[in-house]
Structure 1
């Protein structure tokens, strides 16, 4: 039987006076970054790896983020998964073309602006609906 222990953080929270550059202050909070969980429904072109890569590269540019690595994996008979590793964190996605559904995970730290990805995604995939969860990660205090 395993014993449950209380979580002890390895590092102390960052104070407002010595916060690293990648932390931001917005809406009265100090935090590391914004994490968007984006669901596109009734979307098009979800098995087009070239379009998806071009679209995510456009998102990265618009958000003022820095691309470090990009990879897409194709599934048989269809569907794609991919990751863009960013200096500011990442964008990941998985598509279900038969369902017209794409799940995206957009996490950007510091001054990057992940919300600027949304209009680009809408223009590229023409979804019937978009669901967005907007989370602040690494909230200090």
Structure 2
């Protein structure tokens, strides 16, 4: 059950960036970032909050063989939240998780970013 959970709260993101409002563009960005990081996408869902409003935000989730990526955009606020979690059972995927987060941070180019790193379940995992 050991893993690494990364979250990032981004501010000052350019609202005109396509992934901020376009589900297809966000999906393409996530696919590229997942592939570049060496992680394995197995399923996904991307959704614009108000389909009739081209200014509305987008949410997207990529299920990974190693766990998940979630992205939520608020173009009206210039905000994005990122959530990357990887399981490290059997192999350490931490560097891949960091690479995925870094790729998304570069793509969104926020003015401000608050990044959190949490080791998950280290105390609950039985010794082998």
Same-fold status (TM-score > 0.5): yes
- Residue in 2 that maps onto 1:85: 63
- Residue in 2 that maps onto 1:56: 30
Q: Which moved more, 1:41-50 or 1:67-76?
A: 41-50
- Residue in 1 that maps onto 2:102: 119
1:102-136 per-position Cα deviation (integer Å, ceiling 9, x unaligned): 11111011232211023311332121111100001
Structure with the greater alpha carbon radius of gyration: 1
- Structure having greater relative contact order (Cα 8 Å, sep ≥ 6): 2
After TM superposition, the structure 1 = structure 2 runs for residues 1-141 of structure 1, keeping only pairs within 5 Å, are 32-44=2-14, 45=17, 46-76=20-50, 77=53, 78-110=56-88, 111-112=92-93, 113-140=96-123
How many residue pairs get aligned? The number is: 111
SS at match of 1:114: helix
State the Cα RMSD in Å.
1.6
Q: 5+ residue gaps in structure 1? A: 1-22, 24-31
CA contact (8 A) 1:55 1:120 kept: no
The TM-score, its normalising length taken from structure 1, stands at 0.71
The TM-score, its normalising length taken from structure 2, stands at 0.78
In structure 2, distance between residues paired with 1:37 and 1:118: 8
In structure 2, distance between residues paired with 1:62 and 1:134: 21
Q: 5+ residue gaps in structure 2? A: none
State the 4+ residue runs in structure 1 displaced beyond 3 angstroms.
none
